[in-house]
């Protein structure tokens, strides 16, 4: 499975480089790049392990941000523009909003950066009309949305988060049935647990060349990881029992929004659990807060800061994680960060990124570049 998926990714990157010949923007031609330390790009350091990704958003489409993105990363995920609220019509029957995301996709592909699609079916950032109406109307809304998006991006986007964050937190000890652990989203309320299977089958039928992901956070929590594993295993077993020779859900995306207290052994346990059921894993949204600042959007701004000790502990956490990811590189098909710099991160006050608000590389950057050296120092 991993070999096949890696082949698809490498072919995609080769195709992009052929088509982008002559239009590639390099780190030295865009913006006024500050002198970055003489260190190999992360995508080169990890080229024998997995592609390395980051997000793309408006602020990252020019200047030093773009330079860094092109220099270090070979995969990109749109932070917001390819979500249903970004692409989907504002009202039933309205126009799709392709242009902002298309600009990002074109810019990335022209710079040999492959695109991961995020996300098709989610409880958040989804226009209200999509989950309103009778179960049949909601079902048709979902099918036509997935069909439209996959048709539009055919040949340009090679993998998609089909369903995002369907499983709840706070699962009871001893829970045996993943169907009891689904978030009561509009999709769930209309269709029950079956919406997940339907979303993946619709995506598969719409474009069989696309790799299909189930993506979620807190999979370092053993109970949540267990329910996700059971769900993916059950849906895949049912699909294969019908005679299909590949999985319906091919990749589990571990978002990996962590703090420095993340248990590395819990992350390892989740990787082991997912390996058991024959899927691949991608680390899809990695960031490590220096301190826990609470929920989403806990602030943005240049007043983000961290003490030297906090930065050191953060660097060690990143080093431990990358040592683990390397060890599991036969299973892990990509590691993507959720932001380059602390200022523009969704969790700015947690200082979670590899570059600071001035785009200076942090200890965290050097830890990712050389995990073993960092841990042995
Ligand atoms: O687009 C509006 C803009 O028109 C308005 O002026 C502005 C005022 O606040 O808000 C803008 O929307 C914000 C949007 O980001 C774009 O910047 C939303 O308020 C804000 O909630 C939204 O936050 C995003 C969040 O998902 C929403 O759930 C973050 O940028 C994005 O990083 C975050 O990404 C998620 C992944 O998709 C799934 N996994 C968790 C991850 C972190 O929450």
Q: Is 177 in the pocket of ligand 1 (CB under 6 A)?
A: no
Distances (CA, A) of 275 to 8, 200, 268, 312, 333: 20, 20, 11, 32, 12
Which of 160-164, 200-204, 304-308, 349-353 has the lowest average pLDDT?
304-308
Could you read off the pLDDT of 226-269 as tens digits, one per residue? 999 999 999 999 999 999 999 999 999 999 999 999 999 999 99
Higher pLDDT: 39 or 120? It is 120
Q: Rg for the chain (alpha carbons), in Å?
A: 20
289 in catalytic set: no
Ligand 1 centroid, distance to 173 Cα (angstroms):
32
Phi, psi angle pair for 290, to nearest 5°: -75, -25
Structure tokens given for 66: 């773009």
Ligand 1 centroid, distance to 80 Cα (angstroms):
6
In sequence order, the 6+-apart residues with CB closer than 8 A to the CB of 108 are 56, 76, 114, 115
Exactly one of 64, 161, 216, 230 is catalytic; name it.
Answer: 216
Residue 339 CA to residue 67 CA, distance in Å, equals 14
- Using pLDDT thresholds of 50, 70 and 90, give the confidence band for residue 120: very high
- Using pLDDT thresholds of 50, 70 and 90, give the confidence band for residue 299: low
- Using pLDDT thresholds of 50, 70 and 90, give the confidence band for residue 306: confident
Q: Is 59 in the pocket of ligand 1 (CB under 6 A)?
A: no
216 in catalytic set: yes
Region 105-114: mean pLDDT is 98
> Any idea which architecture 2-23+30-376 has in CATH?
Alpha-Beta Barrel (3.20)
Nearest CA to ligand 1 atom 26: 80
Q: Which residues of 177-203 are buried (b: 16+ CB within 10 A; e: fewer)?
A: ebeebbeebbbbebbebebbbbbbbbb
Beta bridge partners of 199: none
Residue 2 has pLDDT above 60, yes or no: no
Please identify, by atom number, the ligand 1 atom nearest to the C-alpha of residue 297. Answer: 23
Region 95-116: mean pLDDT is 98
Residue 336 has pLDDT above 60, yes or no: yes
Distances (CA, A) of 208 to 57, 204, 280, 311, 316: 28, 5, 17, 44, 40
pLDDT for the residue numbered 193: 98
Structure tokens given for 48: 């024998």
- Does 212 sit behind a cis peptide bond, omega within 30 degrees of 0 on the bond before it? no
- Using pLDDT thresholds of 50, 70 and 90, give the confidence band for residue 294: low
285 in catalytic set: yes
Work out whether the CA dihedral 369, 19, 12, 197 comes out positive or negative.
positive
Region 4-17: mean pLDDT is 46
- Using pLDDT thresholds of 50, 70 and 90, give the confidence band for residue 26: very low
pLDDT for the residue numbered 92: 94
Ligand 1 centroid, distance to 345 Cα (angstroms):
10
Residue 303 has pLDDT above 70, yes or no: no
pLDDT for the residue numbered 25: 31
- Using pLDDT thresholds of 50, 70 and 90, give the confidence band for residue 295: low
Beta bridge partners of 265: none
Beta bridge partners of 337: 286
Beta bridge partners of 194: none
Among 282, 227, 292, smallest CA distance to 258 is for 292
| Segments making up each domain of the chain, as ranges | 2-23+30-376
Could you read off the pLDDT of 179-237 as tens digits, one per residue? 999 999 999 999 999 999 999 999 999 999 999 999 999 999 999 999 999 999 999 99
> Helix 194-206 and helix 135-152: axis angle, to 10°?
30
Residue 57 CA to residue 349 CA, distance in Å, equals 19
> Helix 222-241 and helix 194-206: axis angle, to 10°?
60
> What is the full DSSP assignment across 32-86?
------S---HHHHTTTT--EEEEE-GGGGSHHHHHHHHHH-SEEEESSTTSHHH
Exactly one of 71, 165, 289, 343 is catalytic; name it.
Answer: 165
Pocket test for ligand 1, best of 163, 287, 296 (most atoms within 8 A of CB): 296
Structure tokens given for 22: 């002559």
Ligand 1 centroid, distance to 79 Cα (angstroms):
8
What 3-state class would DSSP assign to 266? helix
pLDDT for the residue numbered 35: 61
User: Residue 221 in contact with residue 208, Cβ under 8 Å?
Assistant: no
Residue 32 has pLDDT above 60, yes or no: no
Residue 18 has pLDDT above 50, yes or no: no
pLDDT for the residue numbered 304: 61
Which of 60-64, 132-136, 227-231, 339-343 has the lowest average pLDDT?
339-343
Q: Is 346 in the pocket of ligand 1 (CB under 6 A)?
A: yes
Exactly one of 197, 285, 341, 356 is catalytic; name it.
Answer: 285
């Amino acid at each position: 499975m991993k070999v096949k998926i890696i082949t698809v990714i490498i072919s995609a990157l080769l195709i992009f480089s052929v088509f982008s010949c002559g239009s590639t923007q390099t780190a030295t031609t865009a913006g006024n790049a500050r002198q970055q330390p003489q260190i190999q790009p992360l995508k080169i350091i990890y080229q024998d392990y997995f592609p390395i990704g980051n997000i793309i958003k408006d602020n990252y489409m020019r200047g030093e941000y773009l330079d860094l993105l092109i220099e270090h990363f070979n995969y990109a995920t749109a932070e917001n523009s390819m979500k249903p609220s970004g692409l989907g019509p504002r009202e039933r029957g309205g126009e799709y909003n392709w242009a902002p995301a298309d600009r990002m996709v074109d810019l990335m592909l022209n710079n040999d950066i492959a695109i991961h699609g995020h996300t098709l079916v989610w409880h958040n950032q989804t226009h209200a009309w999509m989950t309103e109406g009778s179960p049949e109307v909601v079902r048709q809304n979902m099918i036509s949305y997935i069909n439209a998006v996959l048709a539009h991006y055919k040949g340009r986007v090679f993998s998609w988060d089909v369903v995002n964050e369907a499983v709840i937190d706070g699962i009871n000890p001893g829970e045996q049935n993943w169907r009891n652990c689904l978030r009561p989203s509009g999709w769930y309320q209309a269709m029950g647990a079956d919406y997940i299977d339907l979303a993946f089958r619709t995506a598969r039928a719409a474009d069989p060349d696309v790799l299909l992901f189930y993506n979620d956070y807190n999979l370092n929590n053993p109970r949540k990881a267990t329910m996700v594993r059971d769900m993916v295993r059950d849906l895949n077993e049912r699909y294969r029992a019908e005679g299909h020779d590949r999985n319906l859900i091919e990749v589990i995306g571990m978002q990996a929004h962590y703090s420095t207290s993340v248990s590395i052994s819990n992350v390892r346990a989740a990787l082991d659990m997912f390996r058991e059921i024959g899927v691949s894993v991608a680390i899809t949204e990695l960031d490590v807060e220096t301190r826990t600042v609470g929920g989403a959007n806990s602030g943005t701004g240049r007043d983000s800061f961290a003490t030297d000790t906090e930065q050191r502990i953060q660097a060690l956490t990143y080093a431990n994680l990358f040592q683990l990811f390397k060890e599991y590189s036969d299973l892990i098909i990509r590691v993507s960060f959720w932001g380059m710099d602390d200022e523009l991160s969704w969790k700015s006050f947690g200082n979670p990124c590899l570059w600071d608000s001035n785009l200076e590389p942090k200890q965290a950057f050097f830890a990712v570049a050389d995990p073993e050296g960092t841990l042995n120092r």
